[in-house]
Amino acid sequence: MTIPHLGTPVSASGCSAGSCGSKSAQMDALSADTLKKVQDHPCYSEEAHHHFARMHVAVAPACNIQCNYCNRKYDCSNESRPGVVSEVLTPKQAVKKTLAVAAAIPQMSVLGIAGPGDALANPERTFSVFRELQQRAPDIKLCLSTNGLMLPEYVAQIAAANVDHVTITINCIDPDVGAQIYPWIFWNHRRVMGREAAEILIAQQQKGLEMLVARGILVKVNSVMIPGINDAHLQEVSRVVRAKGAFLHNVMPLISEAEHGTHFGLTGQRGPTPEELQTLQDACAGDMNMMRHCRQCRADAVGMLGEDRGADFTMDKVEAMEIDAQFEQAAMQRRLALREAINAELEAKRNARHAAPVLQFHAPKRGRPVHMAVASSGGGLINQHFGHAKEFLIYEASSAGVRFLGPRKAAQYCGGESDCGEAENTLARTIAVLADCEVVLCSRIGFEPWGKLESAGIMPNGEHAMEPIEEAVTAVWSEMLKAGKLDVAAFEDQKRA
């Protein structure tokens, strides 16, 4: 661990061990082989998610289990959010769309199959896309997400297709918990119900995990946090999957709006609050690398995490494009050149951290933690106007360092869904979403929202426009510390009270 500056928080490496996925300090600790696999995968590396894009192709309509948080009308909510139906593509269409997107967005480094049903309940369609892309765009990493029921059967095929990232949704390892989440599975040509169904599913998931790890395939485990059902159990899940070699654990909040028509939505099962989610993620982090930057994307998501460029690549637009071998080659060369440049820059930063002098290690300054919201459109920079942000990245700065807590959705204040009459309500909602933050960092902000945020106790700050996020968060925290605003004793008294 390096301490970059005198008396300031440890920047990236300040994340407590295992607290933030493959963040910089963990990137430093990875083997060369693993680093190569994750350095440009936006889900497996928090650092990469600022720089690289992924896309999903919705080629897998069928599913072989029923989850109580799923309504078949919508996408698989194991890996994507319910509420929007994806356009199901044929494998041929999916390949053409991938090549078109990867030519237009050179940051595109990963193609995932994540629904709208289960990738392995549709094996012919899934593997036919992978096979063809391996031939025509071998630089693109292949990724799949599954509920795990059929996983052991397909591990050999997954390895043969050069898929080196697999996500398994594991919500429990106890069939009594599972029976409250899965009413049935389809197994050996019959429907199996209740506890027996959960028992089979859990056994298949665990076996699949072990088989993937044995082949050196990186496994991410997704878990949906369902308060009162599996929230107290997920720490044990985290411990077990880590012991079996899973690389990353992504605990996602249950989405259960009644209008989605899911069992949980209709029976009033609530999702966790952001505080409950963070507490569980922190509790699991002692045992496991945690992913905190998941956006619960759609099964047809396109672009950087947090942005949706799907509308730019509808099938009618894609079908109209001429794509030949020369076009594919030129696009791949552009991607490779960009990837090399980004990775060289990130590596230089990692090396600079290693080389930085270790100063005042024995007497770090103490200050209470501060939550800050950041408006960023990518690149790891503070580069977005407050009014254009559809989400804010929440960071916590303290004497232990800077750590990323996760993204929070907000409605766009200017030129978005709201018209001028609605802008005030939009701003009020954003202020409520950021209630625990004391600072909002953005590239610019208007007079009106500035005043409202300040009155709500959230200080807008545009002084760090275009700076790297963690450096800016560190600088602001240090300024607050210097100004005597971060008294630890008062904070601890307040917590006790």
Select the span of 63-71, 88-96, 279-287, 349-357 touching ligand SF4 (CB under 6 A).
63-71
* Residue whose Cβ sits closest to ligand CLF: 112
Q: Which does 107 bind (CB under 5 to 8 A by kind): ligand CLF, ligand SF4, none?
A: none
Of 119 and 346, the one with the shorter C-beta distance to ligand SF4 is 119
CA distance 77 to 116: 8
Sequence-distant (6+) residues with CB within 8 A of 480 are 367, 370, 438, 486
x/- letters, 213..252, toward ligand SF4 (CB under 6 A): ----------------------------------------
What residues make contact with ligand CLF under the rule CB under 6 A?
A: 43, 54, 56, 79-80, 110, 112, 114, 143, 145, 165, 167, 220, 250, 294-297, 305
Of 70 and 318, the one with the shorter C-beta distance to ligand SF4 is 70
Q: Are strands 53-56 and 108-113 parallel, antiparallel or unpaired?
A: parallel
Q: Which does 112 bind (CB under 5 to 8 A by kind): ligand SF4, ligand CLF, none?
A: ligand CLF
How near is the Cβ of 116 to ligand SF4 at its closest, in Å? Answer: 7
Question: Taking CB under 6 A as the criterion, which residues in 313-342 touch ligand SF4?
Answer: none
Select the span of 14-22, 59-67, 132-140, 330-338 touching ligand SF4 (CB under 6 A).
59-67
Select the span of 62-70, 183-191, 266-274, 320-328 touching ligand SF4 (CB under 6 A).
62-70
Site for ligand SF4 contains 134 (CB under 6 A): no
Of 61 and 406, the one with the shorter C-beta distance to ligand SF4 is 61
Site for ligand SF4 contains 27 (CB under 6 A): no
Q: Closest by alpha carbon to 430, among 455, 453, 461?
A: 453
x/- letters, 89..128, toward ligand SF4 (CB under 6 A): ----------------------------xx----------
Among 147, 171, 204, 384, binds ligand SF4 (CB under 6 A): 147
Site for ligand SF4 contains 78 (CB under 6 A): yes
In a 10 Å sphere around its CB, with 0-12 CB exposed, 13-18 middle and 19+ buried, how is residue 30 labelled? Answer: middle
CA distance 29 to 340: 20
CA distance 87 to 79: 16
Among 1, 5, 66, 210, binds ligand SF4 (CB under 6 A): 66
Select the span of 50-58, 66-74, 316-324, 330-338 touching ligand SF4 (CB under 6 A).
66-74
Q: Which does 15 bind (CB under 5 to 8 A by kind): ligand SF4, ligand CLF, none?
A: none
What is the radius of gyration, based on Cα positions, of the chain? Answer: 23
How near is the Cβ of 106 to ligand CLF at its closest, in Å? Answer: 17
Q: Which does 108 bind (CB under 5 to 8 A by kind): ligand SF4, ligand CLF, none?
A: none
Which residues on neighbouring strands pair with residue 222, listed in sequence order?
169, 250
Site for ligand SF4 contains 58 (CB under 6 A): no
Of 140 and 299, the one with the shorter C-beta distance to ligand SF4 is 299
How near is the Cβ of 78 to ligand CLF at its closest, in Å? Answer: 9
Q: Which does 67 bind (CB under 5 to 8 A by kind): ligand SF4, ligand CLF, none?
A: ligand SF4
CA-to-CA dists, residue 153 to 196, 202, 343, 448, angstroms = 20, 15, 36, 59
Sequence-distant (6+) residues with CB within 8 A of 395 are 371, 372, 374, 402, 403, 404, 405, 469, 470, 473
How near is the Cβ of 391 to ligand CLF at its closest, in Å? Answer: 12
Sequence-distant (6+) residues with CB within 8 A of 237 are 170, 171, 172, 173, 221, 223, 230
Site for ligand SF4 contains 77 (CB under 6 A): yes
How near is the Cβ of 98 to ligand CLF at its closest, in Å? Answer: 12
How near is the Cβ of 113 to ligand SF4 at its closest, in Å? Answer: 12
Task: Give the interface with ligand SF4 as residue ranges (CB under 6 A).
Answer: 63, 65-67, 70, 76-78, 117-118, 147
